[in-house]
Structures are given as C-alpha cells and as structure tokens.
Amino acid sequence: MFTKTISRLKCILPILCLAASAPSQAATSAYTIGSGSWTANAGTWGAVGFEFTVTTSIEITHLGVHDWFGNGLLTNAQVGIWGSTVGTLLASVTVPAGSGASLVEPVGLGAVDYLQALATPVTLGPGTYVIANFQQGGTGTEVLGFGGPITWAPGIGYVKGWAIGGSTFKDPRSAGGFSDTANMPSYIGPQMKFNVVPEPSSAALVLACAGLGCLRRRRA
C-alpha cells in the first residue's frame, strides 16, 4: 500500500507543480494615450466609438470610458462591443456616474479609465468589431479625442471612428450613423481590458505527458 501511495504521489506532484507555476495574466488596456496634440470634443452625441480588429483570440474582462480629465463621469455610461454584423451586441456594461466604477485606473497625463467588470468574460476571435459608449441622460459625452498620439495593444488594430446621434444605446454603424477617417484616430473614448487567450503551451504538453505516464503506471 505504501509503495502504491508513493507511486501515485510521483505522478501527481509534477502536475500540481506545473499548474501552480502557470503565470497569471494582468489584463491589458486596448490603448494608451501618448502626450501630444489632441483635438477634444465634448458635444452631445448618441453612441460613439471606433471600429477595431483583433488578430488573436482575446477575453474581454472590463469595458469602460477613458476620462481625459480624471474628474469623474458626468452621467452613467453604457459601453458595448458589437460584432461584424451590425446590431449584434456581444458584451455591455453600465459604468456608474462619478468615480464609482469597479476598476479605476489612473493612466497618466491626468486621465483616468473608469471600467466595469463583465459578469462573464467574453471571448473575441480574430475579426472586426466596434466598441462604443453612450452617456445616459442626454447631457453629452465625456470629452472625445481626435488625431493625437496613441499606442494600441499588441493584437489590436484601429480601423476608424463611428458615431450616431439619438437618445438610445445602439451600434453606431446603425442607419444614420457615420464613420470618420479624416481625423485618425477619432472618437477615442470607450475603453476595454482583455487577456490574450493562451495557445497550447509546452507546459500543457508536459501535463498531458505526465497524465499519460500515470495512466500507464496504473495499468501496469
């Protein structure tokens, strides 16, 4: 019995060690604003945001709003991501007014990202998407950025800005919406955080081999 127990431990310990040593990921923001000349606009809009591409599968953990002045949101903000088909909402949150978001991140230059965690993370495969925010109450959006320096996270590509008027939260590519390619990048305001979905790794292969080795020993 003692020998069998030791044998089982020899099988299990490598698996436990590898699982415990797997690196944890810190969620990444879609973009980082650089210092330089930005055109700001805080007019009354409907849903505003931008179209972007994803080159590798990512898991969205938070959606929110980039507050250029870091002084809290004017009103609640609905933020959503839509798929390549217009009107297909994939994920959305409501970020509370002020600074009561579940994640408040100072991001330099006096700005703050106010983000709300998704109840269940959403995976986006390679493709094209739109993210937009809508400020409730009809009092206008936070300041939006146009034409300044910006760094996009690896795997994220900017396409163009989108905006639509009205008093409802909807895909800005809907009928009546318009795109902006003249002030690249444009309508920078909504933000998201994500983790890259890991590819099969050598650690996973080792775990599989360890499991197979245990199975063979048990059969023997």
φ, ψ of residue 84 in degrees (nearest 5): -65, -30
Let me know: does 133 contact 48? Beta carbons within 8 Å: yes
Q: What is the CATH number of the domain that holds 122?
A: 2.60.120
**Whole-prediction pTM value?**
0.81
In a domain, 7, yes or no: no
pLDDT digits (tens, 9 = 90+) for 125-145: 999 999 999 986 544 556 788
What is the DSSP code (8-state) at residue 31? E
In a domain, 183, yes or no: yes
In a domain, 5, yes or no: no
pLDDT at 219: 52
* 54-68, 99-113, 193-207, range with the lowest pLDDT: 193-207
| pLDDT band per the 50, 70, 90 thresholds, residue 108 | confident
What range defines the domain where residue 177 resides? 39-196
In a domain, 66, yes or no: yes
| pLDDT band per the 50, 70, 90 thresholds, residue 9 | very low
Helix (H) or strand (E) holding 180: strand 178-180
pLDDT at 18: 41
Cα-to-chain-centroid distance, residue 197: 12
pLDDT at 134: 93
Let me know: does 73 contact 201? Beta carbons within 8 Å: no
In a domain, 95, yes or no: yes
Write the CA distances from 60 to 3, 25, 97, 130, 155, integer angstroms.
Answer: 47, 13, 22, 13, 13
Both tokens of 169, joined, read: 């939260």
Q: What is the mean pLDDT of residues 85-104?
A: 96
Both tokens of 126, joined, read: 């390679």
In a domain, 100, yes or no: yes
Q: How does the average pLDDT of the chain come out, rounded?
A: 82
pLDDT at 19: 43
- Among 114, 110, 80, smallest CA distance to 96 is for 114
* 40-44, 165-169, 173-177, range with the lowest pLDDT: 40-44
In a domain, 156, yes or no: yes
Domain total of the chain: 1
> Pick the residue with more confidence: 156 or 42?
156
- Among 65, 47, 73, 80, smallest CA distance to 166 is for 47
Q: Is the pLDDT of residue 187 over 50?
A: yes
